Amino acid sequence: MQDEYRNLYYNARRTAGLTQERWAEALGISVESVRLYENGTNMPSDEIALRMAEVAGQQIICYWHLLQKSKAAACLLPQLDKKGLPESVLNLLVKLKDFLHDGMQDLTRIAADGRVDQEERMAYNHAMQQLRELLAAGMCVEYAEEDIG
């Protein structure tokens, strides 16, 4: 996935099906800027990344841009696997079932007294991991590749 982030701007242009010249024109920037983004010399502004996402028709470009640009975002946001819509939905349902079966019950019990006791720590950490996985699965559905027929 890291290669995909590094080549994010090249992949965005290829997804749009445009040459560097047409891509630059669509974004309102120079061809040289496109080249610098694609070879990793420069990083586009958030505004340009938003335009890339609009032109390519893929919101995930903004997500990947944010992960690449911000160390804080990279620590907080989950890494997303590029999957099709059916696989993403099924994965979300599995994660939801797991969380509802174990994690939600543990969190409800632990939160009842407003604190996490030492003996509750392992169950709390496990529930939080399940919750992070559930959130990531939901985001994968949001950004899933649709089979357009």
Q: What pLDDT is recorded for position 149?
A: 47
**Per-residue confidence in pLDDT tens, the chain, 149 aa:** 444 445 889 989 998 999 999 999 999 999 999 999 999 889 999 999 999 999 998 888 999 899 889 999 988 888 887 788 999 999 999 999 999 988 888 899 898 998 999 999 999 999 999 999 999 999 999 888 765 54
Q: How far apart are CA 135 and CA 24, in angstroms?
A: 35
Q: What pLDDT is recorded for position 1?
A: 41
**0.85 cut: is pTM over it?**
no
Distances (CA, A) of 75 to 63, 65, 94: 13, 14, 25
Q: What pLDDT is recorded for position 146?
A: 66
Which residue's entry shows tokens 């949001």? 142
Tokens of 81: 């696997």
Q: What pLDDT is recorded for position 6?
A: 55
CA angle 14, 142, 98 (to 5 degrees): 130
3: three-class secondary structure by DSSP: helix
